[in-house]
Amino acid sequence: MATTTATAIFGAGCFWGVEAFFEQIEGVVSTRVGYSGGLLENPTYEQVKAGNTGHAEVIKIEFDPTVISYIELLNKLFEIHDPTTLNRQGIDIGHQYRSAIFYTDEDQKIEAEGKITALKEQAVYKLPIVTEVRPASTFYDAEEYHQKYFQKNGSAACGI
């Protein structure tokens, strides 16, 4: 019997570190890094990095919801990045490194907004949460050399 997977798309700064983190989680079937949320079709890394396309560096996660839930993935997302810094994660500065959740259906939207509300009510962060929650738009795969970057290169400068 084939397992049905679901998709999560998150922006949390440099996609290399975000992918390295999420690909180790049980229930994550596959990951791809890429670009989403911008206006230019088929953007390149150089275009996104320059900040002219409106895209965020994102990770697309295919996961098995019978092993890990979307809300558990959201919990992990908020563990690994600072959702209070606008257009910045660590040394990575620019709207392409923004904190973002691109939901694929209404349930994901409700869960994402609920998670943010809960974090605010619990006063987990001293500063306001600036994570954007918006519908998933076209996901463009990053160039192949960005996929599994840490596995291929050992390490790199990255805010995560």
State pLDDT tens for residues 134-150.
999 999 999 998 898 88
| CB within 8 Å of 74: residues ≥ 6 apart | 101, 111, 112, 115
Q: Residues 6-152: name the CATH superfamily.
A: Peptide methionine sulphoxide reductase MsrA (3.30.1060.10)
Q: Let me know if 14 is a catalytic residue.
A: yes
Residue-wise pLDDT for 76-105, tens only, equals 999 999 999 999 998 889 999 999 999 999
Query: Is the pLDDT confidence value at 2 over 90?
Result: no
CA atoms of 98 and 145, how far apart (whole Å):
22
pTM of the model: 0.94
Question: For residue 66, what are its two tokens?
Answer: 């019978």
CA atoms of 11 and 15, how far apart (whole Å):
8
Name the residue among 35, 27, 54, 59 with its Cα closest to residue 148.
59
State the pLDDT confidence band at 158, using cuts at 50, 70 and 90: low
CA atoms of 99 and 128, how far apart (whole Å):
12
Q: Where are the domains of the chain?
A: 6-152
Question: For residue 44, what are its two tokens?
Answer: 């390149």
Question: Of these residues, 6, 8, 12, 14, which one is catalytic?
Answer: 14
User: Who wins on pLDDT, 139 or 158?
Assistant: 139
State mean pLDDT over 58-78: 98
Question: For residue 124, what are its two tokens?
Answer: 């987990």
